[in-house]
Amino acid sequence: MVAPVSLARRAERLVPAPPPRHDPHENISFDSGHAFPGILPDLSAVAQRALSSRATEMLQYGPRQGLGQMREWISDYLKNDHANVPPDEVLVVNGAKHGIELVCRLLLDEGDTVVLTAPTYYTALPILRSFGASFIEVGQDGEGISVDWIEDAVQWLERNGRPRPKLIYNIPDFHNPSGITMSRSRREALLGLAQRHGIYVVEDSPYRALRFEGESQPLLKALDTSGLVINVGTFSKILAPGLRIGWLACRPDLLIRMMQLKTDGGTSPLVQRLLVDYLTKDRLARHTELARTTYREHRDRMLLALAREMPDVATTVPQGGYYLWLKLPGNASGDELARRALEMGVTIYPGSKFYAAQSTGYPNSAKPELDRIRLTFSHAASPDIDEGVRRLAAAWASMRA
């Protein structure tokens, strides 16, 4: 049951953050989903104050479900987003990935089928695999995951006497890596299917607050009347990844069992208190606005640089989030481009990283598109975006030569 995480994945974690200004000898990172260092919050005053006045709360064991005020904060945040989640239906976890792991521990048995998009968030794959999941991969269009496709897969499983999928994993807002946001009608159709067949839906939505333009669509959790949606949230993209705080919002019976499985001594009350004290309504609004403005500028800068340097390569134009998803012409290999880009001093992720690519026998499974690459625009400063795209274009030119 050991997750087949590649060494590359491990190495990725160990790459130091790049400098804010470029240097021909320093790598520029368009790969992992780091925040822009320039907008990381200053928690020093809040930490100083809280650790002086609330040491007992912060330094003893905290309640297993999370600090009451933290759960109230998350409940308010979700209510503002039209999802009526009371504090009792929130479980504080050590980041979204830990939330996904707890969902797997609760719901998955060896051999269970999980439905996901192809491509999908690569880090979810080893977590799901480590619990023995097998995958059905379906496609997306401009409105998001194809519900007809899932229906076809469910029918196929049924015809072949196999159990229904246990869960559908998806990123409905600014999908990673494709940038697609599900339309409202597609969300409703997905929930209809889930309810018809009794399949849990894991809504992983870290980028939701980072909308640059266009209209927000309702959370799946807000539309859900069946209790089948488990909303997974995180402060990594709201504020900062290093906090390692996220949440699960779901039906109380599921929550209680996940809380029992959460045997880690409680998520750090120290960090929860920092969050609660820092994230007043004003500061949340200000920081969200700053993040939106910054990342919209980064997206536009990268789109402009790509149009200038690599006009033959097609890219998505996501309305928010962290990523561009590029399609190379002529079936060129994303893996090859990633290798050459690394030599030129810019790291990117090849499309191959985002596919489970695991046959469950389902004949209509979505196929990996190996002519893709993902570029992260969040992390690098604007001059580095320009220089990184120049390096990428040079790598690309070397492939076309």
Q: Which residues bind its own copies (CB under 8 A)?
A: 1-3, 5, 9-10, 13-14, 17, 32, 34-35, 37, 40-45, 47-52, 55-65, 94-98, 100-101, 105-106, 109, 123, 126-127, 130, 236, 240-244, 256-257, 259-261, 263-271
CA distances in angstroms from 287 to 77, 142, 293, listed in the order given: 14, 29, 10
Copy the structure tokens of residue 329.
Answer: 């012409």
Min dist. Cβ of residue 205 to its own copies (A): 16
User: According to DSSP H, which parts of 198-280 are helical?
Assistant: 220-223, 252-261, 269-278
Complex with its own copies: residue 109 or 312, whichever CB lies closer: 109
| Separation of alpha carbons 346 and 348, rounded Å | 7
- Extended beta strands in 52-120, E state: 90-93, 113-117
Complex with its own copies: residue 12 or 297, whichever CB lies closer: 12
Min dist. Cβ of residue 335 to its own copies (A): 22
| Separation of alpha carbons 103 and 334, rounded Å | 32
| Separation of alpha carbons 139 and 136, rounded Å | 10
Copy the structure tokens of residue 131.
Answer: 């619990």
Q: CA-based Rg of the chain, rounded to a whole angstrom?
A: 21
DSSP structure class, residue 242: G
Let me know: does 231 contact 248? Beta carbons within 8 Å. Answer: yes
Complex with its own copies: residue 234 or 333, whichever CB lies closer: 234
Complex with its own copies: residue 3 or 397, whichever CB lies closer: 3
Min dist. Cβ of residue 49 to its own copies (A): 8
Complex with its own copies: residue 24 or 265, whichever CB lies closer: 265
Complex with its own copies: residue 371 or 384, whichever CB lies closer: 384
Min dist. Cβ of residue 245 to its own copies (A): 8
Min dist. Cβ of residue 12 to its own copies (A): 9
Complex with its own copies: residue 256 or 317, whichever CB lies closer: 256
Min dist. Cβ of residue 200 to its own copies (A): 15
Min dist. Cβ of residue 267 to its own copies (A): 7
DSSP structure class, residue 18: P
User: According to DSSP H, which parts of 202-265 are helical?
Assistant: 220-223, 252-261
| Separation of alpha carbons 144 and 182, rounded Å | 4
Complex with its own copies: residue 132 or 329, whichever CB lies closer: 132
Copy the structure tokens of residue 27.
Answer: 């790598």
- What is the b/e burial string over 305-317, where b = at least 16 CB atoms within 10 angstroms of the residue's CB? bbeebbeebebbe
| Separation of alpha carbons 172 and 83, rounded Å | 15
Copy the structure tokens of residue 309.
Answer: 């340097």
Let me know: does 308 contact 396? Beta carbons within 8 Å. Answer: no
Min dist. Cβ of residue 96 to its own copies (A): 8
Complex with its own copies: residue 55 or 397, whichever CB lies closer: 55
Find, among 299, 354, 328, 373, the residue nearest to 139 by Cα: 354
Complex with its own copies: residue 58 or 171, whichever CB lies closer: 58
Min dist. Cβ of residue 99 to its own copies (A): 9
Single-letter residue type at 254: L
Min dist. Cβ of residue 213 to its own copies (A): 27
CA dihedral 85, 145, 173, 313 (to 10 degrees): 170
